[in-house]
Chain A
Amino acid sequence: MSVKTKPLTGKGRSRARHEGPLLKVEELSLFFRATHGVVRAVENVSFELARGRSLTILGESGCGKTSLAKAILRLLPRNVSTYTGRVFLNGTDIMRLSEDRFRHDVRWKQMSLVSQAAMNSLNPVLKVGYQVAEPLFLDHRTSKKEAMERAREVFRIVGIPLPFLDRYAFELSGGMRQRAIIAMALITNPSLVILDEPTSALDVLTQAGIMNALKKIKQELELSFILITHDIATSSELADEVLCMYAGQLVEHSKAERFYREPLHPYAQKLMASVPTLRVEKKPEFITGQPPSLFNPPKGCRFAERCHRRFERCQEEPPLFAHGDEMVKCWLYEKG
């Protein structure tokens, strides 16, 4: 089955195709105010993502993965104390756009989000098809009829039987609800979809089904994914590149072939060693200690305290070193 998504009718769809990376994030920082000080949730993160590639953001809970996604989408809570950096999408600096422009032209039009546990937040009193189509006709650029037509199309892409358009959320199983949420993110034909733990609440078989659907979407629609997860085994299902975060900072940005085989950063190495495998006989290990508090992170390398390859240099904060095609934030790779 080959599905061609024709560009939607209506104004505002004449998106000039920009040469160069689809998404470019430069020195993005996001700090929150809390009662006891400032939480440095995302600090100085820079990366690029090419069109049609998918990037996995890996890290333990509390390392700032979700905050990074929220910062890219400008979905910020009220207690933000610092929000700096530049985010270029298709060549435009979207952090400089006014909130109105951003909402109108960027959010959900060019990039959309499948947020964590979103499948439980479907509206129980609206039909699923209507909810999926809603982003299209809300701003009156598309008629309701066309929007429903398009909803039918995305349902086909994500693999939900068409009769489900007229069902309510409670009539759908968990996997189907998650697919509906993905359909909702795809309906505006965005060029970037951010998936925040899309399968963490699902069963193994359902999870594999969703991952199959996402792979198919990626092949057919030529869009980019950012997959945020702490489940390393599942993350490999949809990763061209891996961005590993620790304590609010990017520590390694590598190609998938490199990261899953022999990661560079000691934290990434330890993290990969802690993943239990089913087919390879390898006893998993664990990382001793705990990640530092983001209120008052240590001066030098943030992983130094738990690192097995620490040396004097680690008291200073390492910059991002280029090591071949990879970027790694560790003094061990100073020489390139």
Chain B
Amino acid sequence: MANNTLLSVNNLQTYFELKRWGFLHAGYVRAVDGVSFDLQKGEAITIVGESGSGKTTLLRTILGLAKPTGGEMVFAGRKLDFKNSRDISWLRCQIGFVQQDPYGALPPFMNVSRILREPLIVNKVRREEQGQRIREALEEVRLIPVEDFLPKFPHMLSGGQQQRLVIARALILHPMLIAADEPVSMLDASVRVEILELMKKIQKAHNLSVIYVTHDLSSVRYFSQHAFVMYAAKIVEKADVNEIVNNPLHPYTQVLLNAIPDPEPENVAKFRDIPPGEPPSLINPPPGCRFHPRCPHVIEDLCDVQEPPPFEPEPGHLVECWLYDPQGASAKSRSELKAPADRASEASDNVS
């Protein structure tokens, strides 16, 4: 592994057990199912997906807030053992979390000074140092003059200021990675770019790595280098952000991008192509490619039978879709593919 890798995730799985009557096993919700990627130091990536695609669970697993059921994670050269609480608390100090809803993420009964002091107290930072750290963090997110903000309560701040405070709290322990779960979706359009620019500036200044989780690709495309597209608990496409936007390869990415409007008056007369159906249930995902029931380019007897491995049709652009099989999908005869019969039989009640 290259020395520059900060986080390496290998075949990560997070399943939530379903129980019937509180104790009987009734299957799993496969929220994250076999996700692998590497994150370099100082790199910003975006995870794009619809709600229910597992992007937030992936982030929570990386943060140590959800326990993975399989796979491994290496953070800054340290292989993490999720059963070891010391590993987890160490991990949480290294990652700053920026929540989606700033007002919900800030305790209403604490003032700014107390909100920022809390992580320092928990992590036993010396009392003399605390004031200095708080001041630095507030200056960094440009909540200045600092004295004016210290005694304020969250409800006295505007949405943008609240989100800055959340960012300050994420930064105060000097983390190596910032994980942001839809950091701007609750903010107004005019403030969004300001917050994203602030995050980018902080990222550059400290050589931080950032993971953005979002469903809105257009707002983060200027602020991250790579994008992963998630669909039904899997990453289906990995590439440079601009590659994804300008040259999407996976059929799901194509329909997703097609559904995002740009502000143009012609939109009134245009109907958008959207695939039929809804994302599959994660309790019982369809066999083969998970997008095949909705895919316009589905290849019979291949897509619905065998899960596609990642192909690399262009350098640095990985896509899990049989259309990009260099051997040619049609070249493989049907007999070569053995249907995993156990999963195919379960697939019937997916249509919700």
B104 interface hit (Cβ, 8 Å): no
Q: How far is the CA of A230 from the CA of B50 in the complex (A)?
A: 20
Contact of A61 with B by CB under 8 A: yes
Known: A173-B352, A232-B263, A286-B190. A204 touches B221 (CB 8 A): no
A205 touches B188 (CB 8 A): no
Cβ-defined contact, B188 with A237, below 8 A: no
Task: Tell me whether B221 and A278 are in contact (CB under 8 A).
Answer: yes
Q: What CA separation (Å) do A284 and B190 show in the bound complex?
A: 9
**CB of A258, distance to nearest CB on chain B (Å):** 8
Are the CB atoms of A236 and B274 closer together than 8 Å?
no
Query: Residue-by-residue, is A244-278 near B (CB-CB < 8 Å gives 1, otherwise 0)?
Result: 00000000000111011100000000111011111
Let me know if A212 is at the binding interface, CB within 8 A: yes
Q: Which of A16-69 contact B (CB under 8 A)?
A: 54, 60-61
Residues 113-133 of A, flagged 1 when their CB comes within 8 A of B and 0 if not, give 000000000000000000000
The one of A60, A239, A288 that contacts B188, using a Cβ cutoff of 8 Å:
A60
A75 at the interface (CB under 8 A from B): no
Residue A99 lies at the interface, judged by CB distance under 8 Å to chain B = no
Does residue A15 face the partner (Cβ distance < 8 Å to B)? Answer: no
- Determine if A233 and B218 form an interchain contact, defined as CB atoms under 8 angstroms apart: yes
Q: What 1/0 flags go to A190-216 for Cβ under 8 Å of B?
A: 000000000000011101110110011
- Report whether B268 and A60 are in contact in the complex, using a CB–CB cutoff of 8 Å: no
**Contact indicator A278/B257 (Cβ below 8 Å):** yes
Q: Which residue of B lies closest to A287 (CB)?
A: B190
Asked, given contacts A205-B256, A278-B257, whether A286 binds B192 with beta carbons under 8 Å apart, the answer is yes
Is B314 an interface position by the 8 A CB rule? no
B193 near A286 with CB under 8 A, answer yes
B185's closest neighbor in chain A, by CB?
A: A200
User: B209-248 vs A: 1/0 string, CB under 8 Å?
Assistant: 0000001111101100000000000000000000001000
Residue B261 at the chain A interface, CB threshold 8 Å: yes
Which of A54, A203, A215 has the most C-beta atoms of chain B within 10 angstroms of its own C-beta?
Answer: A203
Which residue of chain B is the closest to A234 with respect to CB atoms? B261
Whether A205 and B274, one on each chain, are in contact in the complex, defined by CB atoms closer than 8 angstroms, is: yes
Whether B262 pairs with A233 at a CB distance below 8 angstroms is yes
Partner of A276, one of B194, B219, B274: B219
Tell me, yes or no, whether A238 is within 8 Å of chain B by CB: yes
In the complex, whether B278 has a CB less than 8 A from a CB of chain A is yes
A-contact 0/1 string along B259-278, CB 8 Å cutoff: 11111110110011011001
Would you give the shortest CB distance from A60 to chain B, in whole angstroms?
4
Q: A230-B189, A236-B264 are in contact. Are A283 and B222 (CB under 8 A)?
A: yes
Which of B50, B160, B193 lies in contact with A204, CB distance below 8 A?
Answer: B50
Chain B residue numbers with a CB within 8 Å of A283 are: 222
Interface string of A224-237 (1 = CB under 8 A from B): 00000011111111
| Residues of the B chain whose Cβ atoms lie less than 8 Å from the Cβ of A231 | 189
Q: Which residues of B contact A204 (CB under 8 A)?
A: 50, 215-216, 256, 259-260
Q: CB-defined interface of B175-197 with A at 8 Å, one 1/0 digit per residue? A: 00000000000001111111001
B16 nearest CB across to chain A (Å): 19
Complex contact B190–A212 (CB within 8 A): no
- B268 near A215 with CB under 8 A, answer yes
Q: Is the CB of B267 within 8 A of A290?
A: no
B159 at the interface (CB under 8 A from A): yes
Tally of contact residues, A, Cβ under 8 A: 49
Contacts known (A205-B50, A209-B274, A211-B272); A60 close to B189, Cβ less than 8 A: yes
Which residue in B158, B216, B272 is a CB contact (below 8 Å) of A290?
B158
Q: Is B255 an interface residue (CB 8 A)?
A: yes
Q: What is the bound-complex CA distance between A290 and B188, given in angstroms?
A: 11
Question: Counting CB contacts under 8 A, is B51 at the interface?
Answer: yes
| A153 CB within 8 Å of chain B | no
A61-B159 in contact (CB<8A)? yes
Given contacts A203-B215, A270-B190, A272-B263, contact A208 B51 (CB under 8 A): no
Q: B259 is contacted by which of A54, A207, A276, A277 (Cβ under 8 Å)?
A: A207
**A279 contacts the other chain (Cβ, under 8 Å)?**
yes
Known: A205-B256, A211-B272, A230-B188. A276 touches B265 (CB 8 A): no
In the complex, A239 Cα to B51 Cα: how many Å?
27
How distant is the Cα of A280 from the Cα of B222 in the complex, in angstroms?
Answer: 12
Q: Which residues of B contact A288 (CB under 8 A)?
A: 194
Q: A240 near B: Cβ within 8 Å? A: yes
Q: Contact mask B189-208 → A, CB, 8 Å, 1/0?
A: 11111100100000000000
Given A233-B262, A236-B261, answer yes or no on A212-B272 (Cβ-Cβ < 8 Å).
yes
Is the C-beta of A285 less than 8 angstroms from some C-beta in chain B? yes
A60 to B192, CA, bound (A): 11
The answer to whether A278 touches B217, judged by C-beta atoms less than 8 angstroms apart, is yes
Cα distance A288–B160 in the bound complex, in angstroms: 11
Contacts of A260 in B (CB 8 A): 263-265
Considering the complex, give the chain A residue whose CB is closest to the CB of B278: A173
- Residues on B with C-beta less than 8 A from A203 are 50-51, 215
Are A257 and B265 in touch, CB under 8 angstroms?
yes
> Which chain A residues lie closer than 8 Å to B255 at the CB level?
205
Chain B, Cβ-Cβ closest to A171: B352
The CA of A136 and the CA of B185, in the complex, are separated in Å by: 37
Cβ B218 vs Cβ A278 within 8 A: yes
Interface centre among B218, B222, B262 (most CB of A within 10 A): B262
The 7 closest A-B pairs by CB, nearest first: A208-B259, A286-B194, A286-B193, A287-B190, A60-B188, A256-B265, A276-B218
14 CB < 8 A contacts A-B: A204-B256, A204-B259, A207-B259, A209-B274, A211-B261, A212-B274, A230-B188, A231-B189, A233-B262, A234-B261, A274-B190, A276-B192, A286-B190, A286-B193
B-binding residues in A (CB < 8 A) = 54, 60-61, 173, 175, 203-205, 207-209, 211-212, 215-216, 230-240, 255-257, 259-261, 270-272, 274-280, 283-288, 290
